[in-house]
């Protein structure tokens, strides 16, 4: 199902089931709707839940994105990735997808006249778009218009696959750090050595500096 409250992968931690607030509230709404034979009362509640779902997904994405951008403020040795997963119960891959969605909006990649329309889509539909954008694929005005007007997830996925049938733009630049701390600059045609970081160091000051470099420069970990 693509209209979940949030797109959670199979690797995400289970949500504790000891809080029955929402279940009780839903029962109350349905009981009133049945008693008064008021279908609109129940459907209005469903509409509200959909709005909450979309808002919560975008809000979480924005918070994760900005938190990672300013991680150095906390002055701790642990990386964003090391603390985010065990604390909030999402797999790093899920967190990365959410961050890409927030970055797509933060950098105003989408044409201004379509941005708000696309922002209303659920996270399951936004993630494949944001992934393609982050990978350097080009979207022209007609592509964005088609995505904004797509009726469902399947249509969006097909459109993104069609776009990705073209090679990433040659000007795209990605910086990768491997497990040895070596930095590589890469685009669609080439890969060049940039330098290296002392990632095996146990010095807290060195770890903080490396985390700041990696996070602020958008370095991808191999």
Q: Which of 136, 144, 143, 151 is nearest to 111 (CA)?
A: 144
| 133-179 pLDDT tens trace | 888 888 999 999 999 999 888 899 989 999 888 655 655 677 888 87
Domain boundaries, the chain: 1-169, 174-221
Intervals of the chain under pLDDT 70: 1-19, 166-172, 188, 215-216, 218, 222
What pLDDT score was predicted for residue 128? 93
**Beta pairing, strands 174-177 & 220-221:** parallel
Cα within 13 Å of Cα(175), Cβ side: 14
DSSP code per residue over the chain: ---SSS---TTSPPPP----HHHHHHHHHHHHHHHHT-HHHHHHHHHHHHHHHHHHHHHHHHHHHHHHHTGGGG--SS-HHHHHHHHH---HHHHHHHHHHHHHHHTT-S-HHHHHHHHTS-HHHHHHHHHHHHTT----HHHHHHHHT--SHHHHHHHHHHHTTSPPPTT--EEEE-TT-EEEEE-SS-EEEEEE--TT---HHHHHHHHHHHHHTTPEE-
Q: Max alpha carbon distance in the chain (Å)?
A: 70
């Amino acid at each position: 199902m693509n209209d979940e409250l949030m797109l959670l992968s199979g690797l995400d931690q289970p949500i504790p089931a000891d809080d029955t607030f929402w279940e009780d509230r839903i029962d109350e709404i349905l009981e009133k709707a049945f008693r008064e034979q008021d279908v609109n009362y129940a459907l209005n509640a469903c509409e509200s839940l959909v709005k909450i779902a979309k808002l919560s997904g975008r809000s979480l994405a924005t918070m994760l994105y900005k938190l990672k951008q300013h991680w150095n403020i906390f002055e701790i040795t642990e990386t964003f990735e090391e603390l985010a997963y065990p604390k909030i119960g999402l797999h790093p891959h899920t967190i990365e997808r959410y961050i890409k969605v927030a970055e797509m909006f933060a950098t105003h990649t989408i044409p201004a006249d379509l941005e708000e329309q696309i922002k209303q889509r659920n996270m399951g539909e936004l993630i494949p778009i944001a992934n393609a954008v982050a990978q350097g694929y080009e979207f022209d005005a007609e592509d964005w218009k088609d995505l904004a007007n797509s009726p469902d997830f399947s249509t969006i996925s097909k459109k993104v696959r069609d776009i990705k049938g073209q090679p990433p733009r040659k000007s795209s630049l990605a910086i990768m750090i491997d497990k040895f701390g070596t930095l590589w600059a890469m685009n669609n045609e080439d890969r060049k050595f940039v330098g290296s970081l002392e990632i095996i160091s146990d010095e807290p000051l060195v770890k903080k500096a490396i985390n700041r470099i990696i996070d602020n420069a958008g370095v991808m970990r191999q």
